[in-house]
């Protein structure tokens, strides 16, 4: 097996790769603070990069959305297994948006802490966008 070697500008390369996807991608630390976000996530939140990184869900979303995200985080951390979630989040325009996301707990040898990654696809099925809960 070939020894691992440092890749010059590896953070810049990673940022370029995740920015190239239309899906919202982010990484949180174990305290729930955003440590890495891509351009699609920044567009959805409608804030500057520096106004997102270091913040938690309660600082970025309405309380109900934040509670749902924190609960999803707890599920991933408790089970240690990747999870798939469907939910509704409020975007920068104040409108609810249905999403399908996946999350996993990741340990990087170069990081002192474990991080949780979440990919929330920005491309939603048209059926999900049109879906409205029935009044029961």
Res. 16: pLDDT tops 80:
yes
For the chain, how big is the Rg over CA atoms in Å?
16
CA distance 42 to 40: 5
Note the Cα 4 to chain centre separation in Å.
28
Residue 14: φ, ψ to 5°? -60, -45
Assign residue 35 the CATH number of its domain: 3.30.450.20
How high is the pLDDT of residue 75?
A: 87
Average pLDDT over residues 24-44: 89
3 within some domain: no
pLDDT of residue 126: 33
Q: CA-to-CA distance for 69 and 36, rounded, in angstroms?
A: 16
In a domain, 124, yes or no: yes
Q: How confident is the model at residue 4, as a pLDDT?
A: 60
> Would you state the pLDDT for residue 49?
95
Any domain includes 73? yes
**54 assigned to some structural domain:** yes
The CA distance from 78 to 63, in Å, is 22
Task: Please report where in the chains the tokens 């190239």 appear, as a residue.
Answer: 20
pTM for this prediction: 0.72
Q: What is the pLDDT of residues 66-115, one digit of tens each?
A: 998 899 888 888 888 888 888 888 887 888 888 777 888 776 554 434 44
Contact 72, 48 (CB under 8 A): no
Number of domains making up the chain: 1
Does residue 16 belong to any structural domain of this protein? no
Statement: residue 120 has pLDDT above 60:
no
Identify the domain containing residue 110 by its residue range: 22-128
pLDDT, position 1: 57
Average pLDDT in the 103-132 region? Answer: 47
Q: Is residue 120 part of a domain?
A: yes
According to the model, what pLDDT value does residue 114 have?
Answer: 43
> Which structure tokens are listed for 64?
């109900």
Is residue 72 in some structural domain?
A: yes
pLDDT of residue 99: 79
For residue 134 the two structure tokens come to: 């029935």
Tell whether 63 is covered by a domain.
yes
């Amino acid at each position: 097996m070939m020894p691992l070697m440092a890749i010059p500008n590896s953070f810049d390369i990673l940022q370029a790769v995740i920015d190239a996807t239309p899906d919202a991608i982010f990484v949180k630390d174990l305290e729930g603070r955003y440590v890495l976000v891509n351009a699609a996530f920044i567009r959805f939140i409608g804030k500057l990069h520096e106004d997102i990184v270091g913040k938690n869900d309660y600082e970025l979303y309405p309380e109900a959305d934040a509670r749902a995200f924190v609960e999803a985080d707890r599920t991933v951390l408790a089970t240690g297994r990747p999870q798939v979630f469907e939910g509704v989040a409020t975007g920068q325009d104040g409108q609810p948006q249905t999403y399908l996301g996946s999350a996993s707990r990741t340990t990087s040898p170069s990081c002192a802490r474990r991080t949780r990654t979440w990919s929330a696809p920005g491309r939603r099925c048209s059926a999900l966008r049109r879906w409205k809960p029935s009044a029961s």
